Amino acid sequence: MTQQIRVAVLGAAGRMGATTCAAVEAAADMELVARVEAGQDVAAAVRGAGAQVAVDFTVPGATEANVHALLDAGVHAVVGATGWTDESRARVAEHAARVNAERERGLGVVIAPNFALSAVLAMRFAAQAARFFESAEVIELHHPNKVDAPSGTARHTAEAIAAARRGAGLGPMPDATETGWEARGADVDGVRVHAVRLRGLVAHEEVLLGNPGEQLLIRQDSFDRVSFMPGVLLAVRQVGSRPGLTVGLEHLLEL
Ligand SMILES: NC(=O)C1=CN([C@@H]2O[C@H](COP(=O)(O)OP(=O)(O)OC[C@H]3O[C@@H](n4cnc5c(N)ncnc54)[C@H](OP(=O)(O)O)[C@@H]3O)[C@@H](O)[C@H]2O)C=CC1
Ligand SMILES: O=C(O)C1=N[C@H](C(=O)O)C[C@H](O)C1
């Protein structure tokens, strides 16, 4: 039998952490070696358990420090927690490059705003469609226990739409709003993003693309957190062969 991948889960007591622990335990090629919770020393916990890969589903305020601790501990990181910025990603890329050069290691960090296949495909379809439409807006809908808004997925989607529009030479979207800007949602790279929090929901996103006389609606729904698990397990399997920082599951899926 091939050796199992030794996996630690950070935020193990949380909604995603608990689901990830169950998925890792059910995977024949993985062994869950540590459940790390708030207040524990991340580096000591993963080193003590002999983890090769750590999955971070903690909180926006903790995840960057966790990833730096994992790199110092010599452990690959798969990150689902939100709160990342261009600056924090750049710091992680620089840290990974330095550790890999100094220690002749091939440590990898995969940060994925969303591990659900439906969400990754929706983002890709939205980016493909964006250059053909005058208007584009994003609506993300989540359970009311979510602490951040707009979602990491919606930010990633809006940034991809904005990049596609820039690449096509499109200017700002038509919008005659003069008052009540607070009702027009967040401005992410020039794309309006609206956040709904509703009991009963899990994680959902709509991208609306409009032209004179027509609309394209792209919608994805995660009805259950198990929807994220195939993507998480894929990242755990691949992170060891992807040195440095990878942002987005689309790269692992070769989309
Ligand atoms: N990329 C993706 O596909 C997905 C990403 N997410 C993201 O994952 C994150 C977690 O979501 P969710 O599980 O719903 O949130 P929860 O609040 O249920 O879980 C977060 C857990 O992390 C713990 N925690 C906080 N700080 C630390 C720390 N420094 N070390 C270890 N554990 C810590 C919390 O403990 P305590 O409560 O004691 O503070 C809690 O148990 C969010 O950022 C969310 O947006 C969610 C779904 C999918
Ligand atoms: O908090 C959540 O639940 C989710 N968070 C991620 C995000 O902010 O995009 C992914 C998914 O939307 C679920």
Q: Is a pLDDT exceeding 80 seen at residue 184?
A: yes
Residue 39 vs residues 33, 42, 52, 62, 71: alpha-carbon distances, Å: 18, 9, 21, 11, 19
Catalytic residue among 68, 95, 142, 156: 142
Q: How far is the CA of 246 from the centre of ligand 2 (A)?
A: 18
Residues spanned by CATH 3.30.360.10 within the chain? 117-223
* pTM of the predicted model as reported, rounded to 2 decimal places: 0.97
H or E element that contains 109: strand 108-111
User: Does residue 59 line the site of ligand 1, with CB under 6 A?
Assistant: yes
Instruction: Locate the ligand 2 atom nearest the alpha carbon of residue 143 and give its number.
Output: 3
User: Does residue 114 line the site of ligand 2, with CB under 6 A?
Assistant: yes
Nearest to 55 by CA among 102, 116, 119, 8: 8
Report the pLDDT value the prediction gives residue 2, as an integer from 0 to 100.
77
Stretch 53-78: mean pLDDT: 98
User: Does residue 230 line the site of ligand 1, with CB under 6 A?
Assistant: no
Average pLDDT of the residues of the chain = 97
Stretch 201-219: mean pLDDT: 98
Residues spanned by CATH 3.40.50.720 within the chain? 5-111+226-251
Provide the CATH number for the domain formed by 5-111+226-251 in this structure.
Answer: 3.40.50.720
Burial class (CB in 10 A: 0-12, 13-18, 19+), 125: middle
CA distance 81 to 36: 14
pLDDT single digits (tens) 196-208: 999 999 999 999 9
User: Does residue 226 line the site of ligand 1, with CB under 6 A?
Assistant: no
Question: Percentage of residues in the chain with pLDDT exceeding 90?
Answer: 99
pLDDT single digits (tens) 92-117: 999 999 999 999 999 999 999 999 99
Which value does ipTM take for this structure? 0.99
Report the pLDDT value the prediction gives residue 194, as an integer from 0 to 100.
98
Instruction: Locate the ligand 1 atom nearest the alpha carbon of residue 115 and give its number.
Output: 3
| Confidence at 77, pLDDT banded by 50, 70, 90 | very high
Residue 142 a catalytic site member: yes
Q: Which ligand is nearest to the CA of 13?
A: 1
Q: Which ligand is nearest to the CA of 59?
A: 1
Rg of the chain over CA atoms, in angstroms?
Answer: 19
Stretch 5-16: mean pLDDT: 98
CA distance 147 to 151: 9
96 touches 109 (CB < 8 A):
yes
- Any idea which architecture 117-223 has in CATH? 2-Layer Sandwich (3.30)
Residue 204 a catalytic site member: no
Report the pLDDT value the prediction gives residue 1, as an integer from 0 to 100.
59
